[in-house]
Structure 1
């Protein structure tokens, strides 16, 4: 009886404490551009503390209304994936509805500068990373999908690959949603801000296959039309990319599935 109890207890302890070998770290970064400290969740792969070699980094952005803990709490397997692909995964806090750009109407919202400069520098300083674009990628869901493409398109010297899952790749059809008018101004008065900061209008920044791209969207998603139009636009420009559309809606069931395909893509990019 004692042996059986001991074995049972051991299984329980392993399940609770050994299910994830990866480590979670909260990195607080002081943003000089916004004058505040921002929390970011960092997933370190198994054995990180005991190994001296450097790691590639994937920046994984949350959607509107979320925060830096979303991916770990909603898709717990993300910790396993950090181990499987032996990469560092960084989940920034995008202030719920920053849309990851530097707002032209609100100087307190400068998340393009924060993520692509201040955070990247802080991560490379603290962790054992490979600090170059060939070992750095960015992706995200919904608002984060728009943000990942937006930041990667504008900062190709920082990121070598980018992805988007159910991304809001054209924000212009949604002038009353997700605090966009607070970030860009009223559409009727500040149309130029909307045109300049919607990612589908930034395709002109891409040159051939300089930036490796993957994006996907469920056919029942309200962002499906924008994703399909982005695909067509990239095809017209002969920009290589991986595009996937499949049954699905705008929810965590879809994103938990989508992230697996994207991680395979980024792992292949890092290894190339």
Structure 2
């Protein structure tokens, strides 16, 4: 192979790497010139050295730091294969993590669009919904206006243990019937949505992995103020009776905070929904 020498400017142009970067590589002993003229400090490289720059660029493209690149360059071919296999596994893990993050982002966007931007506030509508996995915990004498910190804290812990996260939507379920007062309602259980597709590894004594079934639901949404809860619940009851709709006698109420600053007053959107029986 014919050998000839290149200035640092020529190497920079041929490799598409800046002169400043090549000088830095020299200082950290990553890629050094073959010769430095002692009188003017000009750096000279052999044309064959460009091959090693390509290797450095390839390793950087894989996401390696310069320190990791330096270590990789000292490996024998068989050692480099093992090293690259480990990098491949790491990248695959990152890829799967990003996929899950994308799922959560898409879900959150859809929730806000369907819930907070609902144009039919305080109006009964029929919605078709997919099956949704939930984590639920049974309650004892839990009222609508109670603050279930312990229960949701436990649900959050289970989700984190399973590599998921606590959704900002959470809710409860109670029997469908006429109530004289709002405070007569007792939740059967509280729940939070599972926002990832990951299967849970463990079984838990106090919480259960379940599913809200796919199908049509009677639904009404409102901002929680004054007596809106009672008014909207009554609208659902009246709608069922007026249209003689056969429903499963359970009410899901879903809460979504619309104020994300802890220093401000609590504000919530609430959706009440009742599953319609299939024939």
Normalised-by-shorter TM-score class:
under 0.3
Normalised by the size of structure 2, how large is the TM-score? 0.23
Q: Which has the larger radius of gyration?
A: 2
Higher share of residues assigned strand: 2
